[in-house]
Amino acid sequence: MSGDASNTGRRTDNRRSALRLAAVALAMFGFGWALIPLYDVICEITGLDGRTGVAQAASLPTQFDADRTVTVQFVANVNSALSWDFAPAVISMQVHPGKLYDTHYLARNRTAAAIVGRAVPNVAPNVAARYFNKTECFCFSEQSLAAGEQREMPVRFVVSRDLPPEVKVLTLSYTFYRAPENG
């Protein structure tokens, strides 16, 4: 047996195996990044982290469930990095599933400079999140308030008729953050 030949063969094998394993490591690095969109998709489908649904006004059902009433509560939070006042116009509403409702929040910039903020919505309980659909919301885009400016921020929403029957109370909360673009 020629030692050189068998050694060269083994070295080629080793190199091939090493490259394959390196490819696995690289694929796992990619998988780590793929977890980000995957997480979004899973949250979107299941409503797991309280993400609310978005609906087009035109596609909404015209009939509503007049026999059923659920309570929707409104909560407002402001991140400590943002010097705004922020509060719901009403604390709670009685709504019929399937019917479109309007309400608004009030936001005021306490500082002497224009600031861009961004509101992140959340619905509790989680199981109800995807049955809470907004057709219009100030959270869809960034909001800029001039120095000392106060503004009404509208929300138009509909609670889906498919809402599980055991859910009697829904809480919609917004947290206003300073948008990262402010630097």
Do residues 162 and 131 make contact, with C-beta atoms less than 8 angstroms apart? yes
To another protein, the closest distance from the beta carbon of 97 in angstroms equals: 22
- Taking the least distance from each CB to another protein, the nearer of 27 and 113 is 27
To another protein, the closest distance from the beta carbon of 140 in angstroms equals: 11
- Taking the least distance from each CB to another protein, the nearer of 14 and 71 is 14
Instruction: Quote the tokens at residue 66.
Output: 């007049």
Task: Please give the Cα distance from 87 to 109 (Å, whole number).
Answer: 12
Q: What are phi and psi of 41, to 5 degrees?
A: -65, -45
- Taking the least distance from each CB to another protein, the nearer of 49 and 136 is 49
To another protein, the closest distance from the beta carbon of 162 in angstroms equals: 18
- Taking the least distance from each CB to another protein, the nearer of 31 and 168 is 31
To another protein, the closest distance from the beta carbon of 149 in angstroms equals: 20
169-178 and 70-78 strand pairing? parallel
To another protein, the closest distance from the beta carbon of 21 in angstroms equals: 4
* Binding site residues, another protein, CB under 8 A: 3-4, 6-8, 10-11, 13-14, 17-18, 21-22, 24-26, 28-29, 31-33, 35-36, 39, 43, 46, 48-49, 79, 118, 120, 126-127, 175, 177-180
Instruction: Quote the tokens at residue 160.
Output: 């889906």
Instruction: Quote the tokens at residue 95.
Output: 């709504």
Task: Please give the Cα distance from 95 to 161 (Å, whole number).
Answer: 11
Do residues 147 and 111 make contact, with C-beta atoms less than 8 angstroms apart? yes
